Amino acid sequence: MIDDPPLLTVRRAFPRPSAAQVAAFSGVPTGNVVDAMKGSGALDVRIKPIGGPASFCGVAVPCSDGPSDNLATCGALDVVQPGDVIVSASGEFTGAAVIGDLLLGMMKNSGCAAFVTDGCVRDIAGIRAVGLPCFAAGVTPNSPVRNGPGTIGLPVIAGGVQVGPGDIVVGDEDGVVIVPFDRIDTVISALAVVRAAEADLEAKVKDGLRIANFIQSRIDAGLFDEID
């Protein structure tokens, strides 16, 4: 006979980024963060803001719920700290919502910075009223159960990307990006270079630039094969 698994496996004490490390990503566009990570790190394209504000950054508290279940996400309310982002992995299941407006309101009351799931949410009008950034792959009125098993504070795959506890999560209207904990300082250093280059090119575009240097140089080098 095989024993029943525990309903929840919880890791509370995991390494966390410093307040200064998190602040380095505040207000930074997700595109800049991705560029600082050499072009990757964004969750699945379907995961977008639902019914409220979009921009946020915070510390990941990953939850593994599984299809049509949200026990781990509910249990995460006993683990989160102010500024955390609950990231719920549902296996990209869209047959039922992971949360609605009331659970999102509890997250706001707990000091969460945002909620992210690769599944669905419900109660858009209420979510809008809560005012906490909420990102999901879709919306459905179908409700979940709370049976488990699940995990809190352990790595998950959400939206095709591994999310570990203590990772930094950045979101805006373009989507959600995960900065792995062990790469935070490297990404912060690269981000300074990316943002300076972006600002320089933006100024040139406003001044009338028609073709960027990296394209013009390829044209001048004859790398374009022209045909009649």
Residue 41 lies in a domain: yes
- What value does the mean pLDDT of the chain take? 93
pLDDT for res 11? 96
The tens digit of pLDDT for each residue in 40-91 reads 999 999 999 999 889 999 999 999 998 999 999 999 999 999 999 999 999 9
Domain membership of residue 208 (yes or no) is no
Indicate which CATH number applies to the domain containing 78: 3.50.30.40
Q: How many structural domains does the chain have?
A: 1
Does residue 137 sit within a domain? yes
Q: Is the peptide bond before 133 cis (omega within 30 degrees of 0)?
A: no
Any domain includes 209 = no
Q: How many residues does the chain have?
A: 228
Report if residue 172 sits inside a domain.
yes
| Interval 53-63: pLDDT, tens | 899 999 999 99
What DSSP string runs through 29-51?
-HHHHHHHTTS--BPPTT-EE-S
124 found inside a domain: yes
Structural domain that includes position 173? 8-194
206 assigned to some structural domain: no
Domain presence at residue 128: yes
Identify the pLDDT of residue 21. Answer: 98
